[in-house]
A and B are shown apart, each in its own frame.
Chain A
Amino acid sequence: MELKASMAGSVWKINVAQGDSVNEGEDVIILESMKMEIPIPAEKTGTLQKLNVAEGDFVNEGDVLAVIE
């Protein structure tokens, strides 16, 4: 499952490392956009296979931030 950015912003915090398990609803990444924090939660429980971004990166709406399997 791909974890996508819900809006343009920058990556404020990454709460999970590659290989970690994540639970459904857990905030994997927190974006910052227009002075607001936008949490990006996991849609289902799994393992974080791939992380495409680092803290401080700019992302556009729809960008794949991470892959959870």
Chain B
Amino acid sequence: MTPNVPVISIKKLTKTYQMGDVAVHALRSVSLDIQAGEFVTVVGPSGSGKSTLMHILGCLDQPTSGQYFLDGKDVSRLSDDEVSTVRNKKIGFVFQGFNLLTRTSALENVELPLLYGPDPVSATERRARAMAALEAVGLGSRYEHHPNQLSGGQQQRVAIARALLNNPSILLADEPTGNLDSRTSVEVMDIFQSLKKERGITIVLITHEPDVAAYGSRIISFRDGVITSDELNTRRRTARGELAELPEPLEESA
């Protein structure tokens, strides 16, 4: 991809939900460009439309009107099958609730995207790639653990490993620290920052906490379905530095 073409480009995006007789305008003609390698945080109160934006960016939902170009390709009007392939290949999700399969090992959870890829991947290759992804997030030794045997932070790291398995163009994170304590939150943010720095991955992170938003390189504020501010973050927090100052974790020694 050429640097000039933005990874994400949305034009006059509108999303209207019909709630009985009332039409809820979640997004009102939003336009936005995100360049490769940006770490964008989207903030706003609940009901501001940021989650709707996230679903559309993640191809989990389709806009009522407007266009969405992902890697220069319009994905707002694709069929369900095509959209599934886009999700599989180009988008990685990290959710607030982790969304791991229960009673399934960390390794098998990470493997999941490879099972649904358009090209068949052998079982040994699936395993090798999933293992490598787990090691990258520091969970190589816990590949056999089920989600209920892992801490929140560990579960979120498994989810990140899964999201990155297919080397997606964008990583979408929806309140990734919402269920985590502050120290674990910082750890997760550290992973995101290093991903941006080391691998140049484009990250869109949604949060309602300004503290968390401060880790991004660009902060977009939402209110009532419109962008109220969009500015580069000049006072960026660095998770790595903060981690060093925090006391030794108790959880990680377990």
Are chains A and B native binding partners rather than an unrelated pairing? no
User: A residues touching B (Cβ–Cβ < 8 Å)?
Assistant: none
